[in-house]
Amino acid sequence: MNATTQTRTETNHLPGLAQAAVTTLLPVRDIDRARDYYARVLGLVPEGARPDGKFVFRCGNGALLALFPKPEGTKAEHTAVSFEVPDISATIRALKTRGVSFHDYDLPGFRTEGHVCVLGSEKAAWFSDTEGNILCIHQDL
């Protein structure tokens, strides 16, 4: 057995992680404002508040999105969460009717047209939530 095969085999036997549900944690300055945005604007299903102050939303395939209060907010300059959608154009139109503003880019090798960038085998579009977290919608091609 070579090193690559051995590493792959050992990883496959790690108890629990491959089958574990995933929770994405997002820092927010104003939990009430963020809760409203994720429920009303993005249409996520609220699961409820947790004793530690987080507020959790249920997403597709058992994934959870947890907002947690952080007075200084976030400083991330990267995508925090990406939602896979079946039709990116229709999703952009629907989100725009709910007040979402999309980011547009015109950089070497990275340009959006109609808010969409084609990245290899997917199309993607980015926007920010009320707390400054960068969110993405993407559609596999």
At 63-77, the pLDDT tens digits run 999 999 999 887 788
What distance in Å separates the CA atoms of residue 138 and residue 102, rounded to the nearest whole number? 13
With cut-offs at 50, 70 and 90, classify the pLDDT of residue 10. low
Reply yes or no on whether the pLDDT at 8 is more than 80. no
What distance in Å separates the CA atoms of residue 124 and residue 113, rounded to the nearest whole number? 11
Q: Could you give the domains of the chain?
A: 20-140 (3.10.180.10)
CA distances from 125 to 6, 78, 110, 114, 131 (A): 38, 13, 12, 9, 18
pLDDT for the residue 1: 47
Share of the chain above pLDDT 70, in %: 90
| Alpha carbon 105 to chain centroid, angstroms | 19
pTM for this structure? Answer: 0.86
Each residue of 45-94: pLDDT tens digit? Answer: 999 999 999 999 999 988 999 999 999 887 788 999 999 999 999 999 99
Residues in Cβ contact with 141 at an 8 Å cutoff, skipping those fewer than 6 apart:
118, 121, 122, 123
